[in-house]
């Protein structure tokens, strides 16, 4: 009888497939992993024949051993926060199994030992949509700890879905940062042949080892192919595709550099924003802070704003130049007057900032009547180009560290390179 981990051939009325047998969450379904990394399930009633091609190979346990420090190589600490970048498949469960120790990392990626001295530890193992402000503080403290321990660079492995939120959060929280901190993820699971996990990690290690970059950046595939990775500014990038390996793009900003797995670095913008100061200090987030993100859409109702009167700040994701439906044109648009009143009341209580759903470009509420009315109502953000996610993080960070008056003033200041120069804004669309 085949067991999970055995290689089997399954024959049905319609097809024959070979793969590694895995445990299935459904009783009547047989699940195998194909050579290309994809999983396929078969209804037991439809299986005509299943034979064992190869018995499961028992993997030898890793024998803990001291990782030797090599003179002349930089020391890089890898902080794991989840995702699939440093994982391998567990055929008993069908899931990817995380690996976090330096020994395990070097077993998976032995070539890293020739590039840098690798340290590695777990911070939080979770899907990235579960991140909260308290986790940003935890990561920031671990970065500080690693630097105090002598690391010359930090890599944070992270799930891709909210990686750009975390990169923005660290950009603000790590004041005076004089070391490289790169967030790295993978779009494809490490058990798939098309996985980008290994390549992204190698490129991140190479970039830290071969460059003098200081600050927070994101390292992901620059193109669909395994040729180079791109280094993006931590507060000016965004995930723009659900599955492509080159999903991350700079937003209203230039790429910082390209790097390949052999360590060839091509600078795109060596004038990237650098933190002032000579030593790292932490400016953390209030863990219990409530910041809302409200998206403009047709058929809006004033009651959609009611839950936010107990919040500390609101980000509005408007249409075009930064508009919400606030004007009454006829009997069908009477609700819009009520929406405007809710926005006015909110703006008197807490900071309310405007962004745009277009992602690229500048919010300009001075062009049309709705925008000018919003400015009069106290909505902040005109002439700024922050993506909604960066605006969300910046507003939360400001509220955590400054007075209400300072929040409204500092929101317009370029604190971490989050506000672009005009020459960058004139470029259209992603790189």
22 vs 156: which has the higher pLDDT: 156
Residue 111: the pLDDT is: 86
Rounded-to-integer distance, Cα 216 and Cα 116, Å: 19
Residue 44: the pLDDT is: 86
Q: Each residue of 118-148: pLDDT tens digit?
A: 998 889 888 889 999 999 999 999 999 999 9
Where is 135: in which H helix or E strand? helix 133-148
Q: How far is CA 410 from CA 52, 160, 384, 405, in A?
A: 66, 29, 12, 9
Mean pLDDT for the stretch of residues 341-368: 97
Q: What share of the chain in percent tops pLDDT 70?
A: 87
Residue 423: the pLDDT is: 46
Domain extents in the chain: 7-54, 75-282, 291-422
Where is 392: in which H helix or E strand? helix 388-401
Q: Look at the block and give the residue holding tokens 């979770």.
A: 126
Q: What share of the chain in percent tops pLDDT 90?
A: 65
What CATH number labels 7-54?
2.30.30.520
Least confident of 209-213, 308-312, 421-425: 421-425
Residue 67 has pLDDT above 80, yes or no: no
Q: Each residue of 364-402: pLDDT tens digit?
A: 999 999 999 999 999 999 999 999 999 999 999 999 999
| Beta strands 313-318 and 291-295, pairing class | parallel
Residue 35: the pLDDT is: 74
Residue 94 has pLDDT above 90, yes or no: no
Domains 7-54 and 75-282 share a fold: no
Phi-psi region of 362 (alpha: psi -120 to 50; beta: other; left: phi over 0): beta
Residue 207: the pLDDT is: 98
Confidence grade of residue 1 (pLDDT, cut at 50, 70, 90): confident
Q: Return mean pLDDT, the chain.
A: 89
98 vs 382: which has the higher pLDDT: 382
Where is 17: in which H helix or E strand? strand 16-22
Residue 402: the pLDDT is: 98
The architecture in CATH of the region 291-422 reads: 3-Layer(aba) Sandwich (3.40)
Residue 64 has pLDDT above 50, yes or no: no
Confidence grade of residue 310 (pLDDT, cut at 50, 70, 90): very high
Mean pLDDT for the stretch of residues 303-331: 97
Residues 257, 213 contacting (CB under 8 angstroms):
yes
Mean pLDDT for the stretch of residues 212-223: 96
The catalytic site residues sit at 84, 160-161, 239
The CATH number for 75-282, chosen from 3.40.50.1170, 3.10.290.10, 3.40.50.970, 3.40.50.300, is 3.40.50.1170
Mean pLDDT for the stretch of residues 276-287: 92
Q: Which residues contact 151 (CB under 8 A, 6 or more apart)?
A: 75, 76, 77, 119, 179
423 vs 153: which has the higher pLDDT: 153
Residue 36: the pLDDT is: 66
166 vs 111: which has the higher pLDDT: 166
């Amino acid at each position: 009888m085949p067991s999970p981990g055995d290689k089997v051939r399954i024959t049905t009325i319609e097809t024959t497939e070979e793969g590694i047998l895995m445990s299935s969450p459904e009783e009547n379904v047989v699940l195998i992993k194909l050579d290309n990394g994809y999983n396929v399930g078969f209804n037991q009633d439809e299986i005509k024949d299943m034979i064992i091609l190869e018995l499961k190979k028992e993997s030898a346990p890793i024998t803990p051993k001291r990782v030797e420090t090599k003179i002349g190589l930089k020391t890089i600490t890898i902080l794991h926060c989840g995702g699939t970048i440093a994982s391998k498949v567990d055929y008993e469960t069908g899931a990817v199994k995380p690996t976090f120790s330096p020994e395990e990392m070097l077993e998976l990626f032995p070539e890293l030992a020739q590039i840098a001295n690798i340290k590695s530890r777990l911070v939080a193992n979770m899907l990235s949509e579960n991140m909260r402000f308290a986790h940003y503080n935890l990561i920031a403290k671990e970065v500080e700890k690693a630097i105090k321990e002598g690391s010359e660079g930090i890599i944070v492995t992270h799930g891709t879905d909210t990686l750009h939120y975390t990169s923005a959060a660290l950009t603000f929280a790590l004041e005076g940062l004089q070391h490289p901190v790169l967030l790295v993820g993978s779009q494809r699971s490490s058990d798939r042949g098309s996985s980008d996990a290994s390549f992204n990690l190698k490129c991140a290690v190479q970039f830290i080892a071969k460059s003098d970059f200081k600050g927070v950046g994101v390292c992901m595939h620059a193109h669909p192919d395994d040729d180079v990775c791109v280094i993006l500014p931590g507060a000016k990038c965004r995930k723009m595709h659900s599955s492509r390996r080159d999903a991350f793009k700079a937003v209203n900003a230039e790429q910082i550099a390209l790097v390949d797995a052999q360590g060839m670095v091509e600078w795109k913008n060596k004038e990237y924003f650098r933190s002032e100061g000579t030593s790292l200090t932490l400016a953390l987030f209030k863990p219990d802070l409530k910041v809302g993100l409200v998206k403009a859409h047709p058929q809006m109702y004033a009651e959609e704003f009611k839950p936010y009167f107990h919040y500390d700040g609101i980000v509005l994701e408007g249409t075009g130049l930064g508009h919400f439906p606030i004007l009454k044109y006829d009997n069908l648009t009477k609700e819009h007057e009520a929406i405007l009143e809710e926005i006015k009341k909110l703006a008197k209580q807490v900071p309310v900032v405007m962004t745009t759903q277009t992602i690229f470009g500048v919010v300009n509420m001075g062009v049309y009547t709705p925008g000018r009315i919003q400015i009069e109502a106290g909505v902040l953000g005109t002439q700024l180009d922050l993506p909604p996610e960066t605006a969300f993080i910046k507003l939360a960070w400001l509220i955590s560290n400054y007075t209400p008056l300072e929040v409204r003033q500092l929101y317009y200041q370029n604190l971490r390179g989050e506000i672009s120069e005009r020459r960058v804004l004139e470029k259209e669309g992603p790189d």
